[in-house]
Structure 1
Amino acid sequence: MNKFKKGRFSGLIRPLSYLVDLSIINGVIYLFEVNLVSTLLFHSYITILWLVLSFYNKFYNVYRYTRIIQVITLIIKQIIVFTVIVYAFIGFFKKPIISRLNLGNYLLLTFVLLSFFKFLIFFLLSKYRSILGGNFRNFIVIGNNEKTRQLIQTFNSRLDFGYKFKYQFDVKDDSFSLGKCFNYIIDNDIHEIYFSVAELSNKQINKIIDFADNNLRELKFIPDNKEIFSKKLKYEYYDYIPVLSLRNIPLQEPINKFAKRLFDILLASFVIVFILSWLTPLLAIIIKLESKGPVFFKQTRNGFNYQEFDCYKFRSMTPNKSAHLHQATKGDHRITKVGAFIRKTSIDELPQFFNVLFGDMSVVGPRPHMVSHTNKYARSVDKFMVRHFVKPGITGLAQVSGYRGEIEKDKDIINRVKYDIFYVENWSILLDLKVIFQTFFNALKGEEKAY
């Protein structure tokens, strides 16, 4: 079967990426006076270990639907470990005359060039698919529900993914049969089959699997929200027994937990020393002049493992008995003039950096709710409690994705939980940085629900 003719993927892309990267790591070394004695040994060493490292890190497993932040993560992981490998060459092969400084310059330039070509190939392929219509895959969908319609809409709008929608088979249609599906797939050169797990029986699913295997078609499952398959499953082997766990939480890993805590402490300390040290006295005077009451507002909220803690803010309302029960609404008469400004710019949230330093919160994470609201949503919103697997944040993925502030409709809290769960299951330092920068930009331009 000719892969190039079928347009599934170009067989040259990955070998070309290997060739470019190996040329960079082996060629750049000659731009610096590193004092290599055994050049053949060095080139063999870095080439073999680069290939082993790439396989282990899945450095070349970049697909048409891979997000930019995942590509950045791959590059950083690869270059960090490669740096250790390169410097280990000095001690392992006893080469003390090698210049450590020039070796560092070599690694820095290598990192820049590798990143440049990695992104160049990624973006060129995206443009090739979206503008020229090349490197495409034909697909069909079996099933007709909200999830399948969302998938079709996504592929039709994201031309850079390179998917061409051909047909949707409605399982509930009286004329539906798997035989018709299979004939259509063969006659129309379909590369990928997507089907809804919820709409097919086990017998039908097994038939589709057998057909896909025997006809070299890729098969993709579309889960239903009510099924266990909608969760992010972790697949492991206990000896030879396959075991599925419901979700893999990156922040349960000690190294990730340490990295996030270190990042939180450094950023919180910076904000407290260089911003809050002078801003707090200034705001304290303004807040006191406008209305009587404390400078800080303290409210009990639920955090990690559902434990309660005191969350701090600059007071933005006149003191009132309903502050712990009712969320701020648009045009809320309780909000003071200075309160309206600091809420609009999110300055009222800055004292929570003390919560971060104390260990109750993180800079980025699911936003904590008032205890009364948490108890309410825990009963009424599916998977709401998953948010409490990690520390709550000053800002979060849901907030920068348009779901901050007042809960006006059920979909507001449902979508907020959806983004929070995605964050819990896909955390990375780069994702935290993305959320922080987006929060900063949103604060500068102003947000509709920042009141």
Structure 2
Amino acid sequence: MSGLHQEKFMGTAFIAAEDATVVVPYAGLIGGQVARPENAAAIRDPRKRMLDVVVAGTMLFFSLPVMLVIAVLVRRDGGAALFGHSRIGENGRSFRCLKFRSMVSNADQVLKDLLERDEAARQEWVETQKLRRDPRITPLGRFLRATSLDELPQLLNILRGDMSLVGPRPIIQAEVERYGDNITYYYATRPGLTGLWQVSGRSNTSYARRVALDSAYVRHWTFWKDVVILLKTIPAVLRHDGAQ
């Protein structure tokens, strides 16, 4: 397959795609039920959920003062402090993914107007679902995104069981078809606050590569790899690796 090459992550080989969607021999649904790929049972290890609750609960407790300050600043910037956007979770169930609001209140209209008049921006959006120069983001929002502070409310999603500390990047319904048969891997676990995509360039990573990383994470999951990804996330956030 063109555009594919083998890479290594923590001693385990996985396929990474630069310009092509990686196709695996598993359908997303069988008889109306979510198909389970290999390693799906392993990733349901109770230690993973225990780690989520202990770490997320501790982080939430110590970050509450910071979150209160951010909430006040975002409110002063105009609009609601929190933003809940529909994301697809384990087994294809949707949930409200929480973030501190980092965009203007009429973000949808601003995006629509931009894509209608700017061909380059429209092409970038189609390819990556992101914009390097996004006019929707407020000055405060840029700081929150660069430091990942906008994602602190997702600790609540983790405690509620919507998300995990480590997992695939949360996606919207419109992105499901772009995963192709790889959606089977995405459905096998909860999306993560961090993941292979987080420690591999984040916004600098192509969409096809993100799909490959999400699939590889599930295929080769072990509890200790989750721990390693969490440890790798700390310097990645401090360096603002690919943050946008």
Q: Corresponding residue for 1:167? A: none
Aligned in 2, Cα 1:246/1:351: closer, same or farther, shift over 3 Å? Answer: closer
| Bigger relative CO (Cα 8 Å, ≥ 6 apart) | 2
Aligned to 1:383: 182
Counterparts in 2 of 1:10-409, with a 5 A limit? Answer: 247-251=38-42, 256=45, 258-275=46-63, 277-289=64-76, 291-322=77-108, 327-374=129-176, 376-378=177-179, 381-402=180-201, 404-405=202-203
Write the distance in 1 (CA, Å) between the matches of 2:95 and 2:43.
21
> TM-score, normalised on structure 2?
0.74
Structure 1 runs of 4+ with >3 Å offset? 225-228, 250-253, 323-328
- In structure 2, what is the Cα distance between the partners aligned to 1:226 and 1:358? 32
Q: 2:191 corresponds to which letter in structure 1?
A: P
Post-superposition offset of 1:251: 3.4
Amino acid paired to 1:422:
A
Q: How far apart are residue 436 of structure 1 and its match?
A: 1.2
- How much does 1:350 deviate? 1.1
Q: Spell out the pairing of 1:427-442 with structure 2 (5 A cutoff).
A: 427-442=221-236
Displacement of 1:430 in angstroms is 1.5
C-alpha distance in 2 between matches for 1:226 and 1:333: 34
State whether residues 249 and 426 of structure 1, in contact with CA within 8 Å, keep that contact through their aligned partners in structure 2: no
Number of residue pairs the alignment of both structures matches: 206
Structure 1 residue 286: Cα displacement: 1.4
Structure-1 separation of matches of 2:200 and 2:130:
20
In structure 1, what is the equivalent of residue 16 of structure 2?
A: none
Aligned-pair distance for 1:353?
A: 0.6
Q: Is the 8 A contact 1:250 1:425 kept in 2?
A: no
Please report how far the alpha carbon of residue 299 of structure 1 lies from its aligned counterpart in structure 2 after TM superposition.
0.2
RMSD of aligned residue pairs (Cα, Å): 3.0
Q: Percent identity?
A: 33
Deviations 1:165-218 (A, max 9, x none): xxxxxxxxxxxxxxxxxxxxxxxxxxxxxxxxxxxxxxxxxxxxxxxxxxxxxx
CA contact (8 A) 2:84 2:99 kept: yes
More helix by share: 1
The residue number in structure 1 matching 2:18 is none
CA distance in 1, matches of 2:37, 2:151: 34
Provide the C-alpha distance between the structure 2 equivalents of 1:396 and 1:227, rounded to a whole number of angstroms. 20
Please, what TM-score do these two structures have when normalized by structure 1? 0.42
> Which amino acid is 1:329 matched to?
L
Amino acid in the other structure paired with 1:355: N
Unmatched 5+ residue regions in structure 1?
A: 1-144, 155-224, 232-244
Inter-partner Cα distance in structure 1 for 2:203 and 2:213: 15
The residue number in structure 2 matching 1:413 is: 207
What does the per-residue CA deviation read over 1:282-341, in whole Å, with 9 as the maximum and x for residues that have no partner?
11121122x211101110000000100000001111112518997541121111111101
Q: Secondary structure at the match of 1:333?
A: coil
